[in-house]
Structures are given as structure tokens and as C-alpha cells.
Structure 1
């Protein structure tokens, strides 16, 4: 999914998040999310450049996974470059919204901690503002699963908000939700990737664009060993 949820009001004392509440919350906002953010990449030139670099370096002819794809607009951008793009999301509502809009993308419903994909199925993968919903103890498992579904030498691009903050939403665009958004430390996440069999090749940060939430963004590009 994306980073736009961080634009919403947040409380400072969030309850614990869980898979069921994340799924239910994204099911609730799926249609509005898809309508509002379908062309979001048009306003993110750096993200587009990083995605293009990822595609250029992947093994020719291999599929690319969008992990936590939401309604599939990033996967559709990838597919528009002639790639077999596979979008995977926990939310059945998001997957349904994506299938209605982007016939060129293969969508699968599934958990980031137990991806519905074979070992070494993908030449590259992206996880853009999706691991922010995981409990801290599950980040290692997410790294291991990403590594499992990548081919040797496959690249993973991760994007997230920088920090230690946890934001919680009870309401989003007028809908009742129950979502935690965890900002992450780039050094910690880079360390987890290295420990789980990746080599981190690029680490960078940027300020927010004017239309984004006022958070600092980080990107890690890691290669599976």
C-alpha cells in the first residue's frame, strides 16, 4: 500500500495492531483509496526513478512482486513497462479494487509473513510503505519471506517513514478503522536485511513532497544473496 495514510490525524497512544484489524481497515477504505490514489506516482519523481532502476537491474524476463500492493497502482506502473507484475495484498477489498481497474496485473491475496508465491519466483520485489503495519517482532519474518520469493541476485526496494513514532488511526476518510503506522529506523531495518541474507546496496532519505504527509522518507535497495 502507500504512505498517504500518514496524512490523517493520529493519536499518540495506539492500541496493539494485528493482522485482522489491518485487513478489516483496508477492506473498509479500499474503494476510496483506489479512487484517490490511482495516479499517486505521477507526483513522485524519485520513486519512479528508483522503480525504473530496479527494473533495469532485474534478470530479464523475470516477474516483479509488489508486496502490499493495495489497489495496484504501483504494480500497474510496473506492468506498463512491459513487466509481469504480481500484486500481493492482505486485503481482499484492495485486491478486488485492483482487479477491477488493472487487468494487466496479476493479483493475489496474501500475508506479508506468508507470501502466496513460490521459492525464487520473482526477479525483483517492492515493499513501499507496507512493512510499517507490522509488529516490530515480525519485521525479520517479512525480510525472510521477501528473500524466499526472490531469485538469487534479485533486488528488493523498501520504502518507509523514518523515526520511532507509532501513529494510530480510528477514522480515515470518514470510515471507522483500527490501524497502527510504525515509523522505522533505517539502520535497524538495513541490519535485519543483512542478517536475513540480503546485501544492502543503496540507502537514501528524502524530505516529503508538498502533497505528502510531513514525514521523512527512507529507501533501501537490497540484493538477495
Structure 2
């Protein structure tokens, strides 16, 4: 299935940081622009080295979306997860705030369409996606930002469409748990949020995104906290279901 690239943001839109929190937008974009090439070299193009649970969750997500649907990898970075999903037979379009990350993504994953965009105002038509993936792409965002993102996730999904969110688990997501100031050989400034699973599920649920499953795995290697994965469906009748 061929999926035409979505509308890219205009030059004016690209210069506007997120309107929902001062640490968003331009600071996140600049940090990821600076680390894009180093990130790709250190992390690689695929998901083979990831933990079993990560690959398992993505496999379940791909099956839940089903054949013929289009998935949006929202906050796709260098496109390695988008490429992995494409390898599972899913049509994918990737969206990211960082032009630097998108340049790497387009170079390394030519089978995937990519576009620049802020997750609080996605450059995608309403109801165009059968599945949406936010793979650790909310971890630098405040609750207010994530609320705006959730509204966009619901908007771009078809009724019954599947959302998968990967995130860092913690006791309180109302403020950054820490700040990342050095990554992949570069100076950066990125807030890191760790959220309770119930809180994130409830936030998404306010926008008609209903939890169907959750996985929490314990920390591995240098991870300080557990990692969470939520699967949800957009409320509403699925076309052709007769429900």
C-alpha cells in the first residue's frame, strides 16, 4: 500500500515552539537536531537490540492495527521504529519535530514517508490513521502538552483505531523527574517526565482513547525506573462493524 506524504509544516510553523509549555518546542527540536547523527550511529537503524518486551509490544500493536491500515509513528526520531513496523508489513508515516532527525530517517528508511510536525498540531488529516504510535515521544512533555497531544491522537485516528504509547513509569508526572543535559556526546537540555500508568491512562481516556492493555517491565541495564506500555482504542463505531 502506498501512502502519500502528509502536508509538511510551513517555514513559519517550524519556527514556533509548542504553545503549551516553555520547555517544549524549540528546545526539544534543537537538542535532537544536535544529536541526530550521533544517535543514529550509537543506537543503529533497527530494533534488534531492544528488550524482548519492546519488540513484543510492537508486534501486538501491528497485529491489532491490521492489514491495510496506515500507522503514524508520532515523534519518530530517526525512523528506526517506523522501519521496524514497516518490516512487520505495516504502512507507516513518520512525523517528528526535529529536521535533523528527519533527515536521518529519510536517508535510512526510504520505504517510509516522513513529515515535519509538532505532536500538539499534527500535519495529518482527521481520521487518516488506523494506528498511532507514541514511542517514548511524550517523555519530554508536560501534562498540558500531553493532553494536547492526546486530542490530536484521537483526531487523526479512525473510530476503533489503535494507539500505543511507550513511556517511563514514575510516581508523579506533574513535573520533570530529571533533566537530561548530556546525551550521545552532545550538550542538550531536555526535561524527562516519569508518569504513573493510571494517570497517563486517565489523561488519554479524557479524549476517548480507551485502554485495552498495559505492560510494565522492570528496569534493565542502566534504566533507573520501570518502562510502561499502553494499548488503547479510539472510541466510536468501527466502519463496517455494524455496532
Where has structure 1 moved over 4 Å in runs of 4 or more? none
RMSD: 1.6
Q: Pick closer, same or farther for the CA change 1:39–1:101 going to 2, 3 Å.
A: closer
User: What residue in structure 1 maps to residue 14 of structure 2?
Assistant: none
Indicate the structure with greater helix content.
1
Q: 2:43 aligns with which of 4, 29, 37?
A: 37
Aligned length: 210
Structure 2, gaps ≥5 residues long: 1-21, 236-243
How far does residue 40 in structure 1 lie from its aligned partner after superposition?
A: 5.8
Correspondence 1:67-216 to 2 at 5 A: 67-163=74-170, 164=172, 166-210=177-221, 212-216=222-226
Q: Is the 8 A contact 2:102 2:116 kept in 1?
A: yes
Q: CA deviation at 1:51?
A: 1.2
| Partner SS for 1:108 | strand
Contact 2:57/2:229 (<8 A) preserved: no
TM-score (norm 2): 0.82
Say whether the 8 Å CA contact 2:219–2:227 is kept in structure 1.
Answer: yes
Gaps of 5+ in 1: 1-15
Conserved in 2, the CA contact under 8 Å of 1:126 and 1:158? yes
Give me the whole-angstrom Cα distance separating, in 2, the residues matched to 1:203 and 1:161. 13
Q: How much does 1:170 deviate?
A: 2.4
Task: Describe the SS at the equivalent of 1:219.
Answer: strand
Kindly indicate whether the alpha-carbon contact (under 8 Å) linking 2:46 and 2:84 is maintained by their aligned counterparts in 1: no
Using CA pairs below 8 Å that are at least 6 residues apart, which structure has the higher relative contact order? 1
Say which of 219, 222, 228 aligns to 1:218: 228
Task: Output one character per residue of 1:112-147: Cα deviation in whole Å (capped at 9) or x when no partner.
Answer: 100111111111111111111112212211111011
